[in-house]
Every structure is written in structure tokens, then in C-alpha cells.
Amino acid sequence: MNLSTINDFYESIKIINNNVYKKRLKTPGTMNVAEIMNRHHLENQHSNILAFLLDPNEKHNHNDFGESFLSLLKNKGLVLKGNSIISVKREDTTDEARRIDIFIETDSDYIIIENKIYADDQKEQIKAYLESKENLIASRENIFVVYLTPFPKMPSEDSISSVELQTLINNKHFINLTYNKDILLWLENLKTFKAGEETLKAGLLQYIDVVKGITKQREEIFNLSQEISKELLLKYGNLSREELRDRMSALYEFENHINIVLYINFFEDIYKEAAPKIRLLCGNKDDYQSIEEWRNDVIIQQEKFGVRCLENQMTRDLFVQNLKANKVIFACKEKELPILGKKIHIDDYKSAEEPNNSWFVNAILVKDKWEENHKTKLSTHVIKVWFNL
């Protein structure tokens, strides 16, 4: 791995990004309240907004919103008989204590909406929803399923078997509805025509912008992408595919090696901020006299390294268990942890979890702009919220 070549490549990318940033400053400004509040990516928030718009009893005072949604479902293939919505329920509980994201009752039909933006399917999820409502309604003839996703996608066999799903599709009782086309088009066609509906119209415009954001359809993002492509073409357009592949391979290899430095930096932040209650940990050792000594052990072992909190006769550890897999563990020796992610078993610990590793690891590796979005350091968040210090 030629570090000089990688450094030159990175410097070129920085120059390109700087040029694009200067061009972006000249574009019209924008603002999205949901994104500033960091709520734009949460399924529950999307379900809340959709349920609000669909419910004829809500403050928007527009029965036509729900009626146009039913028309959309019919145009997508559902054999609905109803033309108006009677009620909309959020997180409607089934007889197995599962929760349907949105449950709609029309003048003739019942519609189950399963909203999937980032979460995976749960075991027999759609199957259980259908069976629960069938028990109440006594027939599947008027029960329909809408599987709502950002882009076209079918539920997995974990949620419903392929045979059962195909039967629903054949009977026109199931559709996959998408945010990127269906929901966006429906939202853009909602009409606000009554006097004094400026706030409602502004809310719709904000939500349309959110949907465009999660489906990568904002005009400014597309324009910036074009600018980056132009800059890259000017700089590297004369290189052969082999030369470009070599540079990309070198970058990939470099990223795999730099991860350990990013983790070390993160744990050192925690240690410096909360010492002496926080200690550096590597393997089973937690009595390091210097950061340099700890660093040397981490480089040699490259597993189970992080920090340990000893507070009120309780030992809590946060550590990288496996560097190659970017596996981070939050564990306690004396009691159960609050749920932060997926519970796992680690020897010598009473309770251990992978703390929602997808976002947590990305935040450490500076890929999801944690500090910019949350206005605080990730290390500070961990110290205050996880370690209660």
C-alpha cells in the first residue's frame, strides 16, 4: 500500500469537495424542520404523519386526502370497494400483542399498512396481522395489505411465506407501495384550497421534502452529484480503468487499516473526559499507567479494547470485540443493561449487547456526522447516557 499515492488521492478529493462546496453556497438556501430535529429517518414519525393525513377526523379537515389515497391503492391494483375512510389507527394491537403500523377502516374494507423504511421484517409479521384481523372480522375477503417501502421491495419469507404472499397478490389483496414514487406523487397532488391553510400547505411541503430526502430525489442533491461527477472527470478522466481500480483498492485497504486509529481516538476521548471513573481496557487489563502503554497493547492484540467504568461496585465495559468485523460491545458484569441494541452472550458478563451497531459504528467512523447532527460529541453522549457519569 503506497501511502504517498493515497495521500495525493485524498488531497485531490478534498480540492474537488471544496470546489463543489463553493458552488453549493451559491444555490438557494433551504431548511427542513424534521431533519434539524433528527426525526426524518424514523419509521414511527413517518407513520404518524401519514396516519394524520389519512384520518378524516384530524385537524387538516380534508376528507379528500384519504379518498385520493384509496384511489391510489385501487390504481395500484387492490380490489377495494370502499370510497371513504371511517377511521385510522396507529400501532393497532393484535391478539399477539404485535402492533400494526397503520390500520384503516373504510366504508367496506380494512387495510393493513406495514411501514418499512430501515427496519427488517419480523418473524411471521404480516401473516400474524392477517390472522389477527381475520379472527375479528371473520373473513379475509375485505382485508388488504399495503407493504410501504422507500423503493420497490417485497416482504421476506420471515414475514410471510412466498406461497401465501403470491395468493394475496393473485387475489389483488396485496401491493408494495413506495415512497419514491407512489407516496411522493400522492402528496404532491394533495390540494389545500381553503382560506387560512398556509400552515397546512407548509407542513405538506416540508414532508414532501423529507420524502425526497430519504429517497435521494432532492434537486440540490442531484445537482451536487452532477458537479462532483464533472470534477472527477476533469481530474481522473484520462486514467485507465486499471489505474482507477488500483486507486480504489488502495483506498479500501487504507480504510480497513485506519479504523483502529479511529476507535483508539474515540476511546481516548471517553477516557480523557471521564477519568478517573473511566479506565482504558485491553483484554482483561484495566490498570494502564499511560495512554501509550494501552495503545501498544491495542496494536498488538487488536481485539477486546475499549474503556471500563467502575462505579457503585458495578463494572461496565464498552469495547471493540472484533476489529475486522467492526463489532462493538456494551457489557456489564453485575446486572442487566438497559436495552441499547441486540442482546448477546459474552463469557464473564451477566449482560452484553451490540448497541445498535449500524448507527453506532458509523458514528465512530465519522460516516453519519454524529456531532454535526446531535450538537455533541459521541463520547460525551456515551459517558452521560450509557455510563450515567
Band the pLDDT of 15: cuts 50, 70, 90: confident
Kindly tell me if the per-residue pLDDT of 97 is higher than 90. Answer: no
Summarize the confidence of residues 340-359 as an average pLDDT.
Answer: 86
Task: Provide the percentage of residues in the chain whose pLDDT is more than 70.
Answer: 95
pLDDT attached to residue 60: 94
Q: For the segment 315-339, what is each residue's pLDDT rounded down to a tens digit?
A: 999 999 988 888 899 999 988 888 7
Q: What is the Cα–Cα distance from 259 to 281, expressed in whole angstroms? A: 18
Q: ∠ CA(148), CA(152), CA(65), 5° rounding?
A: 40
Least confident segment among 122-126, 141-145, 371-375: 371-375
Report the DSSP beta bridge partners of residue 344: 352
| End-to-end C-alpha distance for the chain, whole angstroms | 42
The per-residue pLDDT for range 138-159, each reduced to its tens digit, is 677 889 999 999 999 999 898 8
Q: What is the pLDDT of residue 14?
A: 80
Residue with more model confidence, 33 or 319: 319
pTM of the entire predicted model: 0.61
Domain locations along the chain: 43-214, 252-386
Confidence of residue 221 (pLDDT cuts 50, 70, 90): low
Q: Is the dihedral of CA 173, 174, 177, 182 positive or negative?
A: negative
pLDDT of residue 233: 82
